[in-house]
Structure 1
Amino acid sequence: MMLATVFGLTAPASAQPAGAGATAWATAWAASAHGPYPVGNPSAQPNQSFTFPEPQQGARDQTFRLVLRPSLWGRQARLRFTNAFGTQPLRIDGAHVGLQLGGAALVPGSNAPVRFGGQEGVTIPPGGQAWSDPVDLAFAADPDSPLLMGRKLAVSFHVADRSGPMTWHAKALQTSYLTAPGAGAQGQDEGEAAFPFSTTSWFFLDALDMMAPAGTPVILCFGDSITDGTASTLNGDDRWPDVLERRLKAAMGNRVAVINAGIGGNQVVGPAEYGPDKPFPGGPSALSRLDRDIASLSGIRTVIWLEGTNDFSRNGNASLEAVQDGMRQGVQRLREAIPGVRLVGATVTPALGSTSPAHGHAEQDEKRRGLNDFIRTSGLFDAVVDFDTATRDPASGGLKPEMVPESTMGGPGDKLHPNRAGYLAMAMSIRPADVLPTR
């Protein structure tokens, strides 16, 4: 197989589609929905009592301006909104998408209206979702321009009336903006005066597609808080999937996407039941979200699965055999749902000695080591990335000392979640050839 090498990275030539010819939708960003607000595990969350004074009633006649960083750029985009954990119909209108200037302000002239079946708004039933129509991005006329790399979109939309329980992704580690309740539709406004309040979570929006050359590889990182980015830098985009993306883009430019489908607290096999009336901070099990968060997304070619530590915590109490069987089931279902998908197993990072009450005990570590042996030797996966070796201190069996102090607020760390240094080491330990599709 011929290889293309740029900046010291090696990528299969077959993973680099030609710049002209057929195009297709490719996932450029996602945020796995895990439950109804406020149940979840946010990080660095500002006081939300002014924006959502009655949490169970949700949003009321107000506009969200969610900030997100696409992993891929195209001349056209489309958005997926979700009411997965709502208990009443959700009415969204006045949606726009523009290029963030700074804070809640947009680059003048970049804000474009979003339609749904040609209409200004859409009503999403409880448990449902809705894709927008394609939106032309005038500022992305040249999607391969290096000046777009790292730039962020602002997706604005108005929630009419009361939303009821809000479907959200708690741990965005990205600041977004909101109007006050009753402020009405403000999405067309490119300024920031109408958006005085901030949040570090994403609400209702769970996927963004870009039109890209057909065959553009989309690599999805599936897992828990260590993929979601707990203890990484707020607004720093230094989770391990972010670092992996930048490594691949150094070689391939705007011809690859890396998507984060982590949920803080997520488990492979638990909880047994989940729903709006029975939520759990870690969201539904990995097995129960395979379709929504992987198979239903556009262009997924590779899945990197890092999970298991929460199953072995005092919150999960799962057996090693149950998690191994869950991974077997998940791999089989993904291969059936996405023919030719490349599945990569990631060894679980250490938590021995964690200050978190549910983590750090010897039994958890014994099961973790057993799961890592399974991931390395079972042959279940097409490749293995060894995050355990990249982060474990041989002397203590826990995280390396320099990876403990958390990077979000400068705290001491919990010896469970790697900091920026840990996530950097994890991503740098990945061989691109292991995660890029081979066909």
Structure 2
Amino acid sequence: MREGATVAGHRLTGRTRRSEVGTWADAVSPDGRPSGALLFDPPAVATAGARERLVATVGADLRLQSGGPIGLLPVIDLVAARDEVWLITTRATPSVAGLMAAGRLDPGGAATVLLETAQALLAVHAAGAAHGALHAGTVVIGEDGSALLAERGLLRALRGEYASAEQDVAAWAALAGALAADCRDGHAATALRRASAAAAHGLAAARDTLLAERGAFPGMGREGLAHAAQGLSAPAFSASPAFPEPSTVAAAGSSGGEAVTLLDLPDATEGSGNVMMRFGPGVPTETTAAQIWRAGQTSAAVTATHTGRPAPRRRRRRSTAWAGTLLLAILIAAAILWLRQTPAAPLAVTDVDVKAPSKTVRCDGTADFVGIVTTNGEAGTIRYRWLRSDGRKPVEGEQQVSSGNTSVDLPLHWNVTGSGTFKGTATLRILSPTTSGKPIQDKASFAYKC
């Protein structure tokens, strides 16, 4: 991979940084704006199941973004070229880890990072999703000084693991502790440790603790964080590049490195969540999408530029005609195979069971519910709604389900503050798809005492 190569129209600058799932590169978008390109480690995307989960996770991010800013690093596209997969985003540097390493994160900036990540996680959790790998390397600073969550759900999706809100809360507390240890101001460090401890009662309580300690952070706010991030770049591309050299992005005119989007972007941004790339039972093994994934070839492909290599010669008309005839025969055979295959059954929810905390929730605590949804094991999207007995606005969401999974957990976190006693009931209603075609639901209650 060389500086000046392009991926989906985004020109790579050669500046990179490593992540748990691959390598980030700074890039420039076609309209000249800073962007980021994440090349996933090839072993991580080697299986069809991992690719399918990845597409579903990125599609979920697009739906989360469709309602407006939510504190996530905005996703632009997900593309594939041969066995390589790239996530294209807005600029993904600098990370909080980079600011800390450079000594450019003051107490005000640390408090701003924690406040904005707590608020973003609360919004993500309310939508029925989770991050799953929160730490200083997956929080990046936007050009306006905002703290944005990067790589949401990617690590867990590639591993086939479940990302939970509880994991996020514990990770946020650990991040607060790390920022406190990095802080050179004793008063501010103590305030950050208090916020870390308050996370045991939920992110809302931790956020409120930080707000109550504003006096310890004179430089708190996005302006100071934006100033700290200015001029800080990812490490320059070295003589031992983190990117694979041979086929990452091919020379201009070569078909070997052509790339194709894996997302149906118009539908995804409208909230439908439809994607072009699907794998699993019921999907023909020789669909056009699967062929594109394997070969990385399409007429709308994007390849590297500025390499100086000449374009390959045009094949003779006779070879082209022969290749066209062969392709037609392959397509006819694939169509016959498709017609002979039995279509997979659609996803259907067969049961729902809501679990509530067994112990009494104490002062300013959080009641953690989980709805266990049983399905017929097919792939699809579950539409659901959480209702609370305190009259708060219902929380509606969608959950992508991969084929082979017969049980899905849908969490709800109910924060309670104030003194007195209280009994709260949460109802999980599955709107679709159900075996009867009608919504099904279950509920559970908890006790609060302060």
Q: Output the TM-score relative to the length of structure 1.
A: 0.26
Point out the structure with max Rg over C-alpha.
2
RCO (CA 8 Å, sep 6+): is it higher in 1 or 2?
A: 1
